[in-house]
């Protein structure tokens, strides 16, 4: 009897401490058990300069340059789920977007590792550690902090929105601003989506999380690779593609006009094979306004609704969740690192479960 009890106790302990992720209410203190981690480059091209290389008096002649690849860092937890998640950052950002939040909590990288997914974080071609570009660029230190504060919907500089899901300590804002990193070559959605398709060739079937500007290259990657089995798009901001002849009109805003982009119907229909969910946060104006930072998002939300309708009209499975409509308030443009990012991750987990992607 005692032995049975000991056995049962031990079995309980084993199931608690065996090398799987140990759940923790705070989503922070549990141990993380990694089966494998590492990094690599994928995609890109090689540019050659004509001539003969002289080892001892080297010039460009006869030399090559490897560029336009992406960089990925991956971690596979023990007893992982079958489909990895690939996370692609937005404009002015790197894989840093998905790591520790500006106020020091775990971001989506570690949250979804804890939930058993292999996680791949990408620095897109011509950004971050994938900085080698085949096309030149000039980097001018551009003071954009206040514009970002407005455009990423922390508030209207220098005031935060009353309900903002962003920690107000000065050091948090400092970290937020320091997550910005420039393009090292011209932004090119084709180059990025080519590299992303090459990444999915390597990972096999997986799920794509995109943020902001990555929305567009994300759709293109799913067109280019059948291994993209689902997309979670956080506040897509550009590259809304429609079938030729079905483009909605451009949408003017205080931040400029947002124009849809055109692809063939055959390409567009590839996006109808997979489940897609789009999330947008709070503090969107309902009517046109002169507030530039917010009005920028009014038209993106409106365009995304048209986009979801187009996907579904063609037999697809897309949905748009505007968080305030389900009672979740105060989210900035960075849903994955907002104060309620675990709640957002829960929504995403539910979507993945419903679509049998987990």
| Contacts of its own copies in 115-154 (CB under 8 A) | 123, 127-147, 150
| Pick 182 or 205: Cβ nearer its own copies | 182
Distance, first Cα to last Cα, the chain? 40
| Pick 111 or 308: Cβ nearer its own copies | 111
In whole angstroms, how close is the CB of 273 to its own copies at the nearest point? 31
| Contacts of its own copies in 181-200 (CB under 8 A) | 181-182, 184-185
| Pick 180 or 347: Cβ nearer its own copies | 180
Contact status: 291 vs its own copies (CB under 8 A): yes
| Contacts of its own copies in 7-66 (CB under 8 A) | 7, 10-11, 13-14, 17-19, 22, 31-35, 37-41, 44, 47-49, 53, 55-58, 60, 62-66
Return the structure tokens found at 329. Answer: 């308030």
Q: With 0-12 CB in 10 A as exposed, 13-18 as middle and 19+ as buried, what is 282?
A: buried
Region class of 92: left (phi > 0), else alpha (psi between -120 and 50), else beta = left
Question: Which phi and psi (to 5°) does residue 120 adopt?
Answer: -110, 120
In whole angstroms, how close is the CB of 348 to its own copies at the nearest point? 20
Contacts of 315 (CB under 8 A, 6+ apart): 269, 272
Considering only CA atoms, which of 79, 73, 166 is closest in space to residue 114? Answer: 79
Letters for 218-257 (x = contact with its own copies by CB under 8 A, - = none) are: ------------------------------------x---
In whole angstroms, how close is the CB of 217 to its own copies at the nearest point? 19
Task: Please answer whether residues 88 and 123 qualify as being in contact, where contact means their C-beta atoms are separated by less than 8 angstroms.
Answer: no
Letters for 306-345 (x = contact with its own copies by CB under 8 A, - = none) are: ----------------------------------------
Q: With 0-12 CB in 10 A as exposed, 13-18 as middle and 19+ as buried, what is 33?
A: middle
Considering only CA atoms, which of 42, 65, 303, 69 is closest in space to residue 188? Answer: 69
88 three-state secondary structure:
strand
In whole angstroms, how close is the CB of 186 to its own copies at the nearest point? 11
Contact status: 95 vs its own copies (CB under 8 A): yes
DSSP letter assigned to residue 146: H
| Pick 51 or 273: Cβ nearer its own copies | 51
* Interface segment toward its own copies; rule CB under 8 A; list 172-180, 271-279, 321-329, 343-351: 172-180
Question: Which phi and psi (to 5°) does residue 267 adopt?
Answer: -65, -45
Contact status: 353 vs its own copies (CB under 8 A): no
């Amino acid at each position: 009897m005692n032995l049975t009890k000991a056995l049962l106790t031990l079995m309980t302990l084993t199931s608690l401490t065996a090398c799987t992720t140990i759940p923790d209410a705070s989503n922070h203190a549990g141990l993380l058990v990694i089966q494998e981690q590492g990094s690599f480059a994928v995609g890109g091209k090689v540019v050659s300069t004509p001539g003969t290389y002289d080892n001892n008096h080297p010039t460009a002649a006869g030399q090559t340059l490897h560029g336009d690849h992406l960089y990925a860092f991956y971690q596979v937890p023990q007893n992982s789920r079958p489909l990895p998640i690939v996370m692609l950052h937005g404009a002015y950002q790197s894989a840093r977007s998905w790591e520790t939040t500006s106020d020091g909590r775990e971001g989506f990288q570690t949250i979804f590792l804890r939930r058993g997914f292999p996680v791949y974080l990408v620095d897109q071609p011509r950004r971050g550690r994938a900085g080698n570009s085949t096309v030149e660029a000039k980097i001018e230190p551009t003071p954009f902090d206040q514009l970002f504060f407005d455009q990423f919907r922390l508030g209207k500089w220098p005031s935060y929105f009353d309900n903002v899901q962003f920690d107000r300590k000065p050091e948090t804002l400092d970290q937020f601003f320091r997550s910005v990193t420039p393009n090292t070559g011209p932004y090119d959605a084709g180059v990025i989506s080519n590299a992303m398709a090459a990444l999915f060739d390597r990972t096999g079937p997986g799920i794509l999380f995109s943020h902001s500007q990555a929305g567009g290259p994300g759709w293109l990657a799913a067109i280019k690779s059948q291994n993209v089995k689902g997309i979670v798009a956080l506040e897509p901001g550009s590259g809304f593609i429609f079938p030729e002849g079905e483009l909605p009109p451009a949408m003017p805003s205080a931040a400029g006009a947002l124009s849809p982009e055109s692809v063939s119907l055959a390409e567009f229909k590839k996006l109808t094979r997979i489940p897609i969910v789009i999330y947008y946060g709070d503090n969107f104006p309902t009517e046109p306004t002169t507030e530039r930072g917010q009005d920028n998002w009014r038209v993106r939300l409106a365009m995304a609704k048209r986009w979801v309708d187009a996907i579904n009209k063609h037999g697809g499975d897309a949905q748009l969740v505007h968080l305030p409509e389900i009672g979740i308030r105060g989210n900035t443009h960075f849903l994955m690192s907002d104060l309620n990012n675990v709640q957002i991750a829960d929504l995403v987990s539910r979507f993945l479960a419903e679509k049998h992607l987990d």
